[in-house]
Amino acid sequence: MSLSFSRRGFALGAAGLSLGAVVPAWAAAPAMRKFTIATSAGRAVEISEFAPVGPVVGTVLFSHGAASAPQFYGPVIWPLVAAGWRILAPLHVDSRLHPDTAKFAGLASWQARLEDMAALTAHIGHKPYVAMGHSYGGLTALVMGGAQSVAPKGWSGPQSDGKAKAVIALSPPPAIPVLITREGYGKLSVPALVQTGTLDVMPGMKIDGWQAHLDAYEAAQAGGHRYGLVLSDVSHYFGGLICDPQQKGPLATKGMEDANRVLGLFIAAYGRGDGRALALLDKQVGGDLPVRLMRK
């Protein structure tokens, strides 16, 4: 299947979001700075950094969805920054805001994403981090955590540096033969939280419903602290709260609050080793919709 499905429906604009209850009052918009790093081949990669005002508890490497950009993920990024996490997010070549996006059609964007993340892990000195992403970026994060994609033509060697402590994948794609198989997803080697919603069906995707976004969770080996999160009435974009602000909605404000609560516990448990957070997280396992958390 072509990657074109990931690019449909993205009409990104400059309109801001009124986040209201989605981002708590204490999670005010953090300062953002941009800087540039280079891949091993010398290609420039713009990085957006969101840093907490106080002590840094850890680093999150965040990968945006196809055609999107880091600035369209405030509702999931800001609460993490408020909790002390430093977020580093590349602008991938498939973004409609990237000046060279036309040069990276189809699967060429996947190799570029691998190169972007390799450059970013080298930039932080190959220190432990949490990998996080949405949609195409969810796949990127899962590969950072050990999942094995179909290697791009000419690619050799590992696809990540093995330093990810945990993965958060929001609505990652299903297994796609030219990109990643279920067996490839089964190579995931770190704790992971894979999220989807009951409205998570994108136009143009030839899959059987929203459940296919759980392929990475279903394929992962049991006993490795893997979680699957399903939220009622949540679409691929949370109604336009993330990735594409031009979605018609309605805004999934309650779904975003539920997602942030669960992923906040997950990242504290597996990113920081917080035993209390782990206990609270596991107490929610087994619940039914509107918030269903599974564990294997």
* Residue carrying the six token digits 């986040």: 19
Give the number of other CB atoms < 10 A from CB of residue 206.
8
Specify the pLDDT at position 208.
58
Of 205, 212, 214, the C-alpha closest to 6 is: 205
Of 10, 45, 5, the C-alpha closest to 243 is: 10
Give the number of other CB atoms < 10 A from CB of residue 210.
20
Phi, psi of 124 (to 5 degrees): -85, 5
**Dihedral sign (CA 279, 281, 285, 291):** positive
> Could you tell me which residues are beta bridge partners of residue 69?
none
pLDDT in tens, 128-181: 999 999 999 999 999 999 999 999 988 988 999 999 999 999 999 999 999 999
Pairwise CA distance, residues 274 & 260, whole Å: 17
Q: What is the pLDDT along the chain (296 residues), one digit of tens a residue?
A: 233 333 333 223 323 333 334 555 445 677 899 999 999 999 999 999 999 989 999 999 999 999 999 999 999 999 999 999 999 999 999 999 999 988 888 889 999 999 999 999 999 999 999 999 999 999 999 999 999 999 998 898 899 999 999 999 999 999 999 999 999 999 999 999 999 999 998 766 555 589 999 999 999 999 989 999 999 999 999 999 999 999 988 999 999 999 999 999 999 999 999 999 999 999 999 879 999 999 99
Instruction: Give the whole-number percent of the chain exceeding pLDDT 90.
Output: 79
What are the strands, taking DSSP E only, across the chain?
32-38, 44-50, 58-63, 85-90, 129-134, 164-170, 192-199, 226-235, 291-295
Contact 126, 161 (CB under 8 A): yes
Sheet holding 226-235, edge to edge: 32-38, 44-50, 85-90, 58-63, 129-134, 164-170, 192-199, 226-235, 291-295
